[in-house]
Structure 1
Amino acid sequence: MPISETFNPEKINQHIVNWLKEYATNAKVNGFVIGISGGIDSALTSTLCAQTGLPTLCVEMPIHQHQSHVNRAVEHITQLKNRFPNVSDIRTDLTPVFDAFSNQVEQNDDRKTLDITLANTRARLRMTTLYYHAGIRGLLVAGTGNKVEDFGVGFYTKYGDGGVDVSPIADLVKSEVKALAKFLQVPDSILVAKPSDGLYENDLSDEDQIGASYDELEWAMQQVELGKTADEFSGREADVYKIYKRLNTINQHKMNPIPVCVIPKELK
């Protein structure tokens, strides 16, 4: 979707960087750790964290990773380290951990359900790894989710990539993420790459999984915010609207606080 005329990447960049630095200072932590996937969201998030001047650790966590993702991640980390002396990196190969886990748990004859469950397992292993690196260094785990993923369709793993300490880009839709990433000189290979969560060995794109592009999802999100209903659209627009509403509905458990069963006082 077209960027708003009032979108100011320079001021937005400075606002996020100041917010990150102030939050880390108040929390009395040393800096940030970010999982680097080779995608635009993690590239932008790590660049924002690097600008704080605080220690910023970029972590690669391959699990049977597609080579194109690895190449883009390495390119970004190399560029970031050359630009910012406070950036370091580490590679934690989780492939043997994932394989060992997979061999110890029961399998499911429903291939689709099994694939989704194992994809979520990958995300949760990565979350655990990020918190390990954060714990021994006194760092915050910086989330890489954007607004459409986090608050629109819930396209993330609960207690996986959804398990973070701070979310610096969660109020930016994907088109704004792209614009800010371009402003901050994220490598072109990442800017033009098809969005993918990297959780499937066959390199499924986000659009393949969702059934709609981020531009389409942004449009649907906007229509819902405007109070539009499904019967106001036809053709592809109607399909996209329904995809958005279905995912937004079934993924509310990710977006809302965990429900607590409150015990009446007279029973305690």
Structure 2
Amino acid sequence: MTGDLEPGIVLAATPIGNVGDASARLREALAGAEVVAAEDTRRLRDLASRLGVEVTGRLVAVHDHNEADRADALIAAASEGATVLVVSDAGMPTVSDPGFRIVEAAAAAGVPVTVLPGPSAALTALALSGLPTDRFCFEGFPPRKAGERASAFAALAAEPRTMVFFEAPHRLAATLAAMAEAWGGDRPAAVSRELTKTYEETRRGPLATLAAWAEAESPRGEIVITVGGRPAQAAGMDAVVAEALARVAAGERAKDAVADLAATAGLPRRELYAAVLEARNGSAST
């Protein structure tokens, strides 16, 4: 390997859209690595061509379906002194892309691992979102099935950090609607698509508004959803449940009281309604 890279596993970020974002170190690694493990070898060759780089090392396809099987051979090559470059189609390997099993195996075998930093769709969208960036979490792709997706979002109802998700364009509207149902339609969010590309766009607004936009417009391209965490000023669940019970005792319908209090306190309506029902049933049995 030429340059300052040592033998071992090298994770390299590739452009997420604009080829001009490729780093000089990525170009050097593509030209000099003895082995290049790529998610899609055809896309890798196209990238190299656009960068004016000739890949001279052995090219190996490593994707979700074969990474576990290929990891041992790649680790063996690195152990014998080869520089093994690992790249995904776009962005950083291991982040919703292949690479994790290779790093896991390398760590277990004591093989050096280094990273060539670069573009990241998750961080780019977070920076564009206008939402708090001091604390955030990356949740990857939500479950595809509606029931599993609802359960996953319910588990995140109390998450105070900004949340970042990837999503396919044909599921965007349904996912935003499910988020609005789980966390409230007023929760601030942003949808970024085609980052660094010609038609890059970021839409910001409440989840309900974004869900309606996605349903009407059917936006295309690579999608990142960023959602604000549960507001710090949200009232505690116990206090809100107690207020709901008092309003119900005064004659108000439980669903009406819950809908109003959930919006005011910044609590998920479904979670609050379940807590109110549990509290009512508990009081009735004593």
Length-normalised TM-score, structure 1:
0.31
Length-normalised TM-score, structure 2:
0.29
Q: Which has the higher helix share?
A: 1
Q: Which has the higher strand share?
A: 2
Bigger radius of gyration: 2
